[in-house]
Structure 1
Amino acid sequence: MPDSIMDVLREMVRASGKPAKALARELGKPYTTFMRELSQADTGAKLGVELLLPLMRACDSILPLRFLASRMDCRVVSLRNVTPDKPTLHEELLDSYEALTQYHRAMRDRQPPENVAALRETVIRQVQEDFVAYIQEATE
């Protein structure tokens, strides 16, 4: 894991697959300014925080968000690829109820932490599906 947010930004730009000139243009910055702001050697130029979200969007990456979250003992959960697997919100909610019940029973029964962790991930996924189903229903 990189040591600084700037290391993460440089890696994100490298991994984006887009030329730095194209990114600079997309961000409305002169190429030389953009490169100075990313340079480790140039301590006089700073990448402004207001550029973080547009740069993440331009690179189609949440690496900086994950880095920051990890430094705060948090995690980032994406809803990009979440698709409800039931035809109605009600059925999605019933799935979540069952997943949460299994999770709580595993803790009550003192199952190994790796089993409980796997069930926790199932609960998280189910709740994400609930939310997406709810949003889809609300916008219909």
Structure 2
Amino acid sequence: MPHGITEVIAQMVRESDRPAKALARELGKPYSTFMRELSGNDKGAKFGVEQLLPLMQACDSVLPLRYLAARMGCRVAALENAAPGRATLHEELLDSYDAMTRYHRAIRDEEPLERVAELRERVIGQVQEDFLAYRRKKTGEES
């Protein structure tokens, strides 16, 4: 489990679909500088807080935000409105089952707290989609 925000940021970079070199380039940093800043061992190089949001956007991740929120006793919720992603209520419910299964497996396997929190948020979002799909079915709303 990461012991600090720098470790969480480094984890986000490692788990990103984009290579670290591409992320460094997008932030306008030499790769070696970027990697030094993400190393918790290099006391002479620190990752600047102003760069956190652009890096999170480049990684398409809110992992550091979730880490910080959890330390403050809060959780992160997306502002965008949920909408059912599947054509039928049955398909939505299957997605929820999958999300809940992944969440429970992460707890069973004692994955890092931030990863479990991320999966929890997916479950919450999926349950919201289930409700909207159910409401659409019951009220006859068009998708």
Taking the TM superposition and a 5 Å limit, the aligned residue runs for 1:66-77 are 66-77=66-77
The aligned residue for residue 89 of structure 1 is: none
What residue in structure 2 maps to residue 15 of structure 1? 15
Cα distance in 1 for residues equivalent to 2:81 and 2:34:
32
TM-score by length of 1: 0.57
SS in 2 for 1:42: coil
The alignment's TM-score, normalised by the length of structure 2, stands at 0.56
Alpha-carbon distance change, 25 to 81 in structure 1, aligned in 2, over 3 angstroms? farther
CA distance in 2, matches of 1:13, 1:81: 27
Aligned-residue CA RMSD (Å): 2.6
**Residue number in structure 2 paired with 1:36:** 36
Question: 2:83 maps to which residue?
Answer: 83
- Give the C-alpha shift of residue 22 in structure 1: 0.4
Spell out, residue by residue over 1:2-46, the C-alpha distance to the aligned partner (whole angstroms, 9 max, x if none).
211011001000000211110001111111111110112211100
Q: Residues of 2 paired with 1:73 and 1:25: CA distance?
A: 34
Tell me the distance in 2 between the aligned counterparts of 1:81 and 1:67.
Answer: 23
Q: Which amino acid aligns with 2:71?
A: R
The C-alpha deviation readout for 1:84-115, integer Å capped at 9, x for no partner, is: 7xxxxxxxxxxxxxxxxxxxxxxxxxxxxxxx
Could you tell me which residue of structure 1 aligns to residue 93 of structure 2? none
Please list every run of 5 or more consecutive structure 1 residues that lacks an aligned counterpart in the other structure: 85-120, 130-140
User: 5 Å matches for 1:55-134?
Assistant: 55-80=55-80, 82-83=82-83, 125=128
- Sort the Cα spacing of 1:72 and 1:21 in 2 relative to 1 into closer, same or farther, 3 A: same
Count of aligned pairs: 91
Amino acid paired to 1:59:
C
1: CA distance between counterparts of 2:82 and 2:29? 34
4+ residue runs over 4 A deviation: none
Shift of 1:64: 0.3
**Structure ID, larger Rg:** 1
Q: Percent identity?
A: 64
Unaligned regions of 5+ residues in structure 2, if any?
85-123, 133-143
Q: Which amino acid aligns with 1:55?
A: L
